[in-house]
């Protein structure tokens, strides 16, 4: 798909007064406009319960765009925004919306293309999708697409029910399920690093790789999202979606073509090959944690159970680590270790690929051990790759020491990497669903994590077990130590 096309559409944002719209969606649409990726033939309709005016919305959009663009550009941009007060359960609201969309399509010469972006409480996803259809809002002569934020259900049965509801109104290829990690530059680069480098792909198997570690740590706590997070926990919030997507990209076979269907079908095969965790094996393969009070960047932070809207005896995990096994020819015997959590030492997402030791060590490294070769893919905040090799110490005897080959794509240049949402909104406008989660991927991920979350829910014994500002509970280190390995905190 060429990226220099300027798609023409009306973007309808449900949840226009909400946090996601302000923090991510408005700034992303603004950057698309500023960079010429959308032209003048677009409009945004913000939909919400509050009785706002167009002016209220435009002011909110201006405030949410932090860059100092000139006033004229701001005004030109925000003049494309319209507010529509809305009652989700009232068909009349949808009919009025349809009238407004028709008018805007005339005004901006938009060929009846509509993107419906659900950036709001998931309990309304089904109702909105169905009523959009029943009131004729989706019956366009151009395209109509549904963009849907997570959480997509809270387990397999609820995800299936939600999927059925939205499928009554939209076909699978009209549904764009957001996993914003798929919009990150370095997550997209996993495929390129693997499939465009002759020095990696031949080694990318259980013959040469010892294990793969994925860490996505956050230093923030639950902020003001405890009501959601208490019901979700780290497993549903991060593992079921973002982490499983990264596992699939790391483990999939080369697709025969770089198109949506082929890539998705390879990812699905990985998820199908994941070894299910039986309920009585959960403790062997997964560790959960909850943060105690601690210190981050020199400042004290409270325990999870002391955060607003968290139950004092909460059983919600704020940390997960686990060992995944993929039962196929390429990966048999190679553990994929994953970990993620709130209030950890730092905000960082990285992937470490640890290669197997060479068969015979002719050199002495530190403590007479050769250091393994590592490939580190830095997803954020740094974006780049580091390759750890062994080289000889100058003047030394037969000593090898690790050296680093570093490439950091966002360290030196002034250009900011496109924000994940910017990329994904643009992809959706162009009809490219590659970096969105297909239903099969969502369903397989839920069926993998459900046995873990059910076991944890039935066993309400989680007590706070890691200090805020650490890298998680000791059991997480033990998980690798059992296999003679350790986390690479590099």
The catalytically annotated residue of 180, 242, 378, 438 is 242
Sign of the alpha-carbon dihedral angle for 411, 416, 422, 423: negative
The alpha carbon dihedral of 27, 183, 413, 388 has a sign of positive
Q: Which is nearer to ligand BG6, 180 or 323 (CB)?
A: 180
Contact between 202 and 161 under an 8 Å Cβ cutoff? The reply is: no
Closer to ligand BG6 by Cβ: residue 349 or 445: 349
CB of 153 to ligand BG6, least distance (A): 14
218 vs 307, beta carbon nearer ligand BG6: 218
Least Å distance between CB 437 and ligand BG6? 12
* CB nearer ligand BG6, residue 56 or residue 155: 155
Least CB distance from residue 213 to ligand BG6, whole Å?
17
Alpha-carbon distance 224 to 226, whole Å? 6
The least distance separating ligand BG6 from the CB of residue 78, rounded to whole angstroms, comes to: 26
- In the bound state with ligand BG6, the residue whose beta carbon lies nearer, of 8 and 236, is 236
What is the contact mask toward ligand BG6 in residues 140 to 179, using x (rule: CB under 6 A)? ----------------------------------------
In the bound complex, what is the minimum distance in angstroms from residue 8's beta carbon to ligand BG6? 29
Cβ at position 338, least distance to ligand BG6 in Å: 14
Of 27 and 335, the one with the shorter C-beta distance to ligand BG6 is 27
Residues 311 to 370 in contact with ligand BG6, rule: CB under 6 A? 349
Nearer to ligand BG6, 131 or 349 (CB): 349
> Per the structure block, which two tokens stand in for 183?
């919009």
Which residues, at least 6 apart from 254, have a Cβ–Cβ distance to it below 8 Å?
Answer: 194, 195, 201, 266
- Cβ at position 349, least distance to ligand BG6 in Å: 6
Residue among 41, 105, 191, 237 that touches ligand BG6 (CB under 6 A): 237
- Is 242 one of the annotated active-site residues of the chain? yes
User: Residues 41, 218, 307, 450: which binds ligand BG6 (CB under 6 A)?
Assistant: 218
Q: How many residues in the shown chain lie near ligand BG6 by CB under 6 A? A: 4
Contacts of 264-273 with C-beta under 8 Å, sequence gap 24+, read 264/434, 264/438, 264/440, 264/441, 267/441, 268/438, 268/440, 268/441, 268/444, 269/328, 270/326, 270/328, 271/244, 271/440, 271/441, 271/444, 271/445, 271/448, 272/444, 273/326, 273/327, 273/328, 273/331
Is 422 a binding residue for ligand BG6 by CB under 6 A? The answer is: no
Nearest distance in Å: CB 184, ligand BG6 = 7
Nearest approach, Cβ of residue 229 and ligand BG6 (Å) = 7
Give the residue with the Cβ less far from ligand BG6, 180 or 267: 180
Of all residues in this chain, which one has the CB nearest to ligand BG6 in the complex?
Answer: 237
Nearer to ligand BG6 among residue 215 and residue 349 (C-beta) = 349
For ligand BG6, which is the closer residue by CB, 169 or 296?
A: 296
Give the residue numbers marked as catalytic.
Answer: 242
Residue ranges binding ligand BG6 (CB under 6 A): 180, 218, 237, 349
């Amino acid at each position: 798909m060429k990226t220099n096309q300027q798609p023409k559409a009306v973007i309808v944002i449900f949840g226009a007064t909400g946090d996601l719209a302000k923090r991510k969606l408005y700034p992303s649409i603004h950057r698309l406009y500023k960079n010429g990726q959308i032209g003048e033939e677009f409009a945004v309709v913000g939909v919400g319960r509050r009785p706002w005016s167009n002016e209220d919305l435009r002011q909110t959009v201006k405030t949410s765009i932090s860059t100092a663009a000139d006033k004229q550009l701001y005004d030109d941009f925000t003049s494309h925004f319209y507010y529509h007060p809305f009652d989700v359960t009232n068909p009349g609201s949808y009919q009025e919306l349809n009238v407004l969309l028709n008018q805007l399509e005339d005004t901006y010469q938009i060929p009846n293309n509509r993107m419906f972006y659900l950036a709001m409480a998931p309990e309304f996803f089904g109702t909105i999708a169905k009523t959009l259809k029943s009131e004729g809002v989706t019956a366009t002569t151009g395209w109509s697409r549904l963009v849907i934020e997570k959480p997509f259900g809270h387990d397999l049965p609820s995800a299936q029910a939600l999927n059925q509801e939205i499928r009554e109104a939209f076909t699978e290829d009209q549904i764009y399920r957001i996993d914003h990690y798929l919009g990150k530059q370095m997550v997209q680069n996993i495929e390129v690093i693997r499939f465009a480098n002759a020095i990696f792909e031949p080694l990318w198997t259980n013959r040469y790789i010892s294990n793969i570690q994925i860490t996505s740590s956050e230093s923030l706590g639950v902020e003001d999202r405890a009501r959601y997070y208490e019901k979700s926990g780290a497993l549903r919030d991060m593992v079921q979606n973002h982490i499983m997507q990264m596992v699939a990209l790391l483990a999939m076979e080369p697709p025969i073509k770089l198109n949506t269907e082929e890539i998705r079908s390879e990812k699905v095969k990985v998820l199908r090959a994941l070894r299910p965790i039986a309920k009585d094996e959960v403790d062997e393969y997964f560790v959960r944690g909850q943060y105690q009070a601690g210190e981050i960047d020199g400042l004290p932070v409270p325990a999870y159970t002391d955060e607003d809207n968290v139950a004092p005896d909460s059983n919600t995990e704020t940390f997960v680590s686990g060992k995944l096994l993929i039962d196929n020819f390429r990966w048999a015997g190679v553990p994929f270790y994953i970990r993620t959590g709130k209030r950890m030492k730092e905000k960082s997402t990285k992937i470490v690929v640890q290669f197997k030791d060479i068969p015979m060590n002719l050199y002495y490294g530190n403590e007479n051990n050769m250091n393994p070769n590592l490939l580190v893919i830095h997803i954020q905040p740094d974006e780049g790759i580091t390759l750890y090799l062994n080289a000889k110490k100058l003047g030394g005897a037969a000593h090898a020491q690790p050296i680093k080959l570093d490439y950091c794509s966002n360290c030196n240049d002034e250009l900011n990497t496109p924000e994940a949402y910017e990329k994904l909104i643009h992809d959706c406008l162009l009809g490219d669903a590659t970096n969105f989660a297909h239903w099969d991927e969502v369903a397989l991920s839920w069926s993998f994590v459900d046995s873990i979350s059910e076991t944890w829910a039935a066993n309400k014994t989680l007590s706070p077990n890691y200090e805020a500002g650490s890298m998680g509970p000791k059991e997480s280190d033990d998980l690798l130590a059992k296999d003679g390995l350790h986390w690479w905190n590099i």
